[in-house]
Amino acid sequence: MKIKSVVYASVFGTAFLLAGCSSAASNNTNSAVHVTGSPTVSNATNTSAPTTNPTNSAVSNQTTAGGSVAEAAAVQMIRESMQLAYGGKLPYVPYAANTTNIDTVTQKWGAATHQDVAGAGIYATYSSRQTAFGFNKGGQIFDVRSYAPQLQTITLSEVTQVLGAPGATRHYAGDSILLYPAGPMFQLLWVFPDATSSNANPHLDHVSVFCPQDTVNLMAQNEPSPQIVVNEAPGTVGSLFTFSILSAPKGYSLSELEWIGSGKETVVNTQQQALQNGADGGLVPNFQISGDGSTFGFDYPASMVGQAGHVVVIFQNTNGQAILGQSTSINLK
């Protein structure tokens, strides 16, 4: 089992590609992850987990009802992976990103098969357990990867049918990496071999849950944190406010935009989703980026009026390391 650090580095690079999958999936490309509570894994229908479009559950039910037992099992594993990712976890791995130190793993599992400096930190590979962990200098795990054989039965089309179009996808060195935001803390990454004429629907190589915030290294940060400046205040022009991002860090690319509301309401868009929303409006609430790429907006429904919160922007470099910026408190009017 080989750690694909170069592949992961590429997914956080400058050129995310908008996904173009099935019609049901593409409907979700411009939508936000809208979280109103903590998802639970026990709900098989995934109704408590944030979804980008009601179409997701309909597609999943069709797959389960009309497909084989193996397809139904794949659907269940995909749903469970998405739900667990909101807590930094994956199926078949008892340790979570963000809340686990690598010392806890070594105490229970022993020494890793090998360790490598890769991406934003150090990676410990446990070959016999089909698992790898990325951790920072303090030992905090920011990346959990599973190569479990059960998960490797999942196909590319099954992921997009169940979860819809990814927030971003990247093709690099023979692999396709599909990124799905999992709330404000985590990203769920599905890594497949590129589809070919002889293998149009490849099986999963591995899945990863990644915590960008835990790659932030303020002591070694050479670039200033980005600043968020509100241009048009909420309510000036409808249920919308616009803002600019100043001091964007050099060598880093905008990855995600987040609204963290006081009422436990969170909205997450990747940069690619926000660009698409800027072009066609998207599903509200959402972030939008104008055609020139310099003007940002947040569009919200009437139900969010009166809520206070702040905007968080995540920039990542080609190693996955993150720099965060946060606005002052914003009141929606």
Q: What is the CATH number of the domain that holds 238?
A: 2.60.40.10
If asked whether residues 127 and 240 sit together in one domain, one would say no
Phi, psi of 46 (to 5 degrees): 65, 20
If asked whether residues 58 and 196 sit together in one domain, one would say yes
Cα separation of 319 and 15, whole Å?
14
In a domain, 204, yes or no: yes
If asked whether residues 157 and 238 sit together in one domain, one would say no
Q: Are 34 and 285 in contact (CB under 8 A)?
A: yes
Identify the pLDDT of residue 51.
37
In a domain, 222, yes or no: no
Cα separation of 275 and 111, whole Å?
44
Say if residue 202 is preceded by a cis peptide, omega within 30 of 0: no
Look-up of token digits 């990863």 = 208
If asked whether residues 280 and 303 sit together in one domain, one would say yes
One-letter amino acid of 139: G
- Neighbouring-strand partners of residue 243: 230, 296
Local confidence band at 37 (pLDDT 50, 70, 90 cut-offs): very low
Helix or strand (DSSP H, E) at 124: strand 121-126
Q: Are 268 and 32 in contact (CB under 8 A)?
A: yes
- Residue ending a domain, among 213, 235, 261, is 213
DSSP string computed for 271-304 = HHHHHHHHHH--SSSEEEE-TTSS-EEEE--GGG
If asked whether residues 62 and 185 sit together in one domain, one would say yes
One-letter amino acid of 105: V
Identify the pLDDT of residue 48.
34
- Residue ending a domain, among 213, 243, 269, is 213
Local confidence band at 294 (pLDDT 50, 70, 90 cut-offs): confident
In a domain, 317, yes or no: yes
Local confidence band at 159 (pLDDT 50, 70, 90 cut-offs): very high
Cα separation of 196 and 218, whole Å?
42
In a domain, 219, yes or no: no
Q: Which of 303, 298, 273, 301 is nearest to 287 (CA)?
A: 298
Look-up of token digits 């899945």 = 207
Phi, psi of 209 (to 5 degrees): -115, 125
Which tokens sit at 100? 């686990």
Cα separation of 287 and 296, whole Å?
7
Cα separation of 165 and 67, whole Å?
21
Local confidence band at 219 (pLDDT 50, 70, 90 cut-offs): low
Q: Which carries the bigger pLDDT value, residue 160 or residue 61?
A: 160
Cα separation of 86 and 48, whole Å?
12
Residues 99-125 have pLDDT tens digits of 999 999 999 999 999 999 987 899 999
Identify the pLDDT of residue 1.
62
Task: Count CB atoms within 10 A of the CB of residue 318.
Answer: 18
Task: Count CB atoms within 10 A of the CB of residue 72.
Answer: 15
In a domain, 323, yes or no: yes
Average the pLDDT over 47-59 and give the result. Answer: 34
Parent domain of 275: 227-331
- Alpha-helical (H) ranges within 67-220 are 69-85, 102-109, 156-163
If asked whether residues 255 and 205 sit together in one domain, one would say no
If asked whether residues 203 and 239 sit together in one domain, one would say no
If asked whether residues 103 and 135 sit together in one domain, one would say yes
